[in-house]
Structure 1
């Protein structure tokens, strides 16, 4: 299927996508504030400039877009145009994500990746479930977890590079 935009239109659309302060990121920050957590955003002194840092709990939250970070869910689809470029781009993003997580964990940080599909789409979590799972993770102490439309998954982080 051909792209519905011309090259300039597509470039304009892609340039408008935020790398920080995105709508999902702002939503998660609002929910954390509602839960009473104090955090800082986009901490440049840490590897990967984490989206949200909760110092008191030595916790970092990344809010990842399913497309940009190659999440295996209903929101991710490899583009039909310029496919080779996109596959390479998304692969390099996932490799970088794993490197950043490994560095942060080596420094003693706990990591939660909140996927866009947990907040968007037909299978999104109910707001209460999303809040409960985030609060549970911050307070629990798991080293690495992911929050997606499937819920909170606790798993051993394996930096498969």
Structure 2
């Protein structure tokens, strides 16, 4: 049986969820730094305050948590409908997904390349995430010539 938290315990857990320098961001940044890529973190000059920005190549990277950004929404949503406070969570995650799409469109319109990674992908396969970033950097370099 799953652990049932009191509202106070749940509130305390939720208060400790960070918005900056999360484990997944640090993993990705460390790998980029090791390979000699320089970046800005939590760049507030762009819409959505991207987690990582490689300004030299106009690349923005978001490290998205599966729950709050609604990974596999068609599976998660029905599960949330059966949970406590379902209206709140469905509304919150739906709005997060809408905002992510709006931010992607704005950044693309401004000429940025947007990359989004799921947290589990960063944790389990950081080298694949780096390969994706390096391919985008390569394309940006080729496009300059």
Q: TM-score range by the shorter chain?
A: 0.7 to 0.9
Compared CA separation, residues 68 and 138, structure 1 to 2 (3 A): farther
User: Where do 5+ consecutive residues of structure 1 fail to align?
Assistant: 142-161
Aligned residue for 1:44?
Answer: 44
1:4-153 superposed matches below 5 A: 4-72=4-72, 78-79=79-80, 80-120=83-123, 124-125=124-125, 127-141=126-140
Question: Greater CA radius of gyration, 1 or 2?
Answer: 2
The structure carrying a bigger helix percent of its residues is: 2
The structure with higher relative contact order (CA 8 Å, sep 6+) is 2
Distance in 2 (CA, whole Å) between partners of 1:128 and 1:55 is 21
Instruction: Please tell me whether the aligned partners of residues 57 and 139 of structure 1 are also in contact (alpha carbons under 8 angstroms).
Output: no
> Number of residue pairs matched?
136
Distance 2:18 2:84 in 1: 22
TM-score normalised to structure 1 length: 0.76
Question: TM-score, length-normalised on structure 2?
Answer: 0.83
Q: Is the 8 A contact 2:117 2:129 kept in 1?
A: no
Secondary structure of the structure 1 residue equivalent to 2:63: strand
- Aligned equivalents of 1:104 and 1:71: distance in 2? 21
Asked if 2 retains the 8 angstrom alpha-carbon contact of 1:2 and 1:81, the reply is no
Contact 1:62–1:113 (8 Å) recurs in 2 = yes
RMSD: 2.2
- CA–CA distance in structure 1, aligned partners of residues 6 and 93 of structure 2: 22
Q: Which consecutive residues of structure 2, in runs of 5 or more, have no partner in the other structure?
A: 141-145
Higher share of residues assigned strand: 1
Runs of 4+ residues deviating >6 angstroms: none
Higher mean displacement: 83-92 or 131-140: 131-140
